[in-house]
Amino acid sequence: MSNTFLNSDSVLQRTVAGATAMREHTASVAPKLRAVLFLIDGSATLGDLLDRAGSLAKLLEQQVEELVRLGLAEVIQPAGNGHGRDLRIGEATTPYAKNKDKPQDLHPLVAAKMQLLLRLEGLPSSDIDSLGAELLEAKTLRDLAIVARTVTNKLALSVGVERSQAFWEDAKTIIMAWRELSLRDEA
């Protein structure tokens, strides 16, 4: 995907402006873009939509990116991020539930960093690189929690409080899952 915050596992939803544009058939939104808005339902991933589009997948991807750029659609969260459900240990080493491969020798700190970086990548912020670098500097899971909280506060300025808090909730879930797993392995 050409957009850093929009990937095949991104779950999309209409924004208030998008829902209004769809309902009111405003002239400012092209009919083809309005038709794509109907496909965005808050549960299907971009990958699901592209799979259904067949040979028109590239065009659909461009239209979805345009809707996001116009503020008519937004990325809720990457799929399988633990929102609305418990993060299972079997999924803890992988960013998405669809990925069933579980690296057996992955250190908990490394796996947690990977997951947090993927969550961060799913946010529409120009600060992603510098915030990601901060996460990578953490030396322990405890350090990672502290840095993740700092990153959350900085994110609030660029992506808003709601999205930054969603990142923090994911971070807590991820870090706690890895902490519990590492404690269980030590016992």
- For 15-41, the pLDDT digits (tens) are 888 888 877 776 778 878 888 888 888
Q: Which pTM was predicted?
A: 0.48
160 sits in the region (left: phi over 0; alpha: psi -120 to 50; else beta) called: left
**pLDDT tens for each residue of 39-71:** 888 888 888 888 887 778 888 888 888 888 888
Whole-number Å distance between alpha carbons of 127 and 157: 10
Q: Is 183 exposed, middle or buried (0-12, 13-18, 19+ CB in 10 A)?
A: exposed
DSSP H or E stretch at residue 10: strand 10-14
